[in-house]
Amino acid sequence: MILVIIIVCIISTIISSSSSSEITNSTNLPQAIIIGVKKCGTRALLKFLSIHPAIAASSTEIHFFDSPKNFQLGLDWYRNQMPIVKNNQYLTIEKTPHYFIDRQTPARIFHLLPEVKLILILRDPIIRAISDYVQIKSRHEFYPTFDEFISMKNFTRWTPIKIGCYVIYLRRWLKYFPLERIHFVDGENLIQRPWQELEYVQQFLNISNHIQQEHFYFNSNKRGFPCVKQPNGCLGTSKGRQHPLISEKTREILKNLYSTCNQQFKQLAQINFSWL
């Protein structure tokens, strides 16, 4: 009888140990998603959040909800793309900035992850458009100047310009998610005072305020962009590219174009970023 009890105890210990190992090295569906906006600092935001001990951050853009090919692979496929949860990490987060402007994504996320928290980072749409242009231009040897694009008759149909009218896309999201489920990050302030924006995000995610000013420094070789104090703590060479000068005429055209969009977004999102 004693021998039987000992064997049972040993088996229970093995099973318990195995279960604990599985929990420690599992993958979870995300509890939070950075849904956009492209060229507003989504990559920087995720990198900064990844230093929090409670967060398991995806290292790549998953493109599950905005890709028909990926979406048909199902929720198990999506879960398997998530990072392995280690130690005391309990919050999984991914970022795919194209989610924000994709028509199908809000409904798909709502139906599969109705309780997920959404993070949206934004910048002055004029700066965002120029940054988008710089990235596109880097892939082409011969490309029109930014001013030349804005002088074209149908320039408002150009994707780098269309994205900047954020209110159009936010309306789609608010059909499915209440405003309190969406946290807005000021991309301009993230560059100047990243610890401040990270404090707000940590509050929204209901996690400890672990990420502080002491975790950052500013890299003079990358136009003064913030980096975290860890190996490979700065973003890659594609970040911090020099922006071209644009004419005052171009700037006035874009200011007038975005004026109404910004005011409507400010009212709808109930935020008051300085550039709005």
Q: Per residue in 200-216, pLDDT tens?
A: 999 999 999 999 999 99
The reported pLDDT for the residue numbered 7 is: 41
pLDDT classification of 13: cutoffs 50, 70, 90:
very low
Is residue 40 marked as binding?
yes
DSSP state of 38: T
Task: Note the maximum CA span of the chain.
Answer: 91
The residue to which tokens 């998603």 are assigned: 33
Is residue 138 marked as binding?
no
Backbone angles phi, psi at 228, to 5 degrees: -100, 150
Q: Which entry of 39, 47, 95, 117 is annotated as an active-site residue?
A: 39
The answer to whether residues 216 and 226 touch, using CB atoms and an 8 Å cutoff, is yes
Mean pLDDT of 76-102: 96
Is the pLDDT at 242 greater than 90? The verdict is no
Is residue 236 marked as binding?
no
Cα–Cα nearest to 167, from 46, 32, 276, 48: 276
Whole-angstrom Cα distance, residue 182 to residue 45?
A: 15
Q: How far is CA 121 from CA 33, 147, 156, 185, 219, in A?
A: 11, 26, 22, 4, 22
User: Measured in whole angstroms, how far is the alpha carbon of residue 242 from the centre of its chain?
Assistant: 22
The reported pLDDT for the residue numbered 40 is: 97
Does 39 participate in catalysis according to the annotation? yes
pLDDT classification of 87: cutoffs 50, 70, 90:
confident
The reported pLDDT for the residue numbered 235 is: 85
Is residue 243 marked as binding?
yes
The answer to whether residues 196 and 189 touch, using CB atoms and an 8 Å cutoff, is yes
Is residue 210 marked as binding?
no
Q: What percent of the chain has pLDDT over 90?
A: 79
Is the pLDDT at 191 greater than 50? The verdict is yes
Whole-angstrom Cα distance, residue 170 to residue 168?
A: 6
Is residue 239 marked as binding?
yes
| List of domains in the chain | 25-269 (3.40.50.300)
The reported pLDDT for the residue numbered 238 is: 58
Is residue 172 marked as binding?
no
The reported pLDDT for the residue numbered 6 is: 39
Whole-angstrom Cα distance, residue 90 to residue 57?
A: 11
Name all contacts of 165-169 with Cβ < 8 Å and 24+ positions apart.
165/125, 165/258, 165/261, 166/37, 166/122, 166/125, 166/261, 166/265, 167/261, 167/264, 167/265, 167/268, 168/261, 169/36, 169/100, 169/101
Mean pLDDT of 60-70: 97
Q: Per residue in 129-182, pLDDT tens?
A: 999 999 999 888 788 999 999 999 999 999 999 999 999 999 999 999 999 999
pLDDT classification of 4: cutoffs 50, 70, 90:
very low
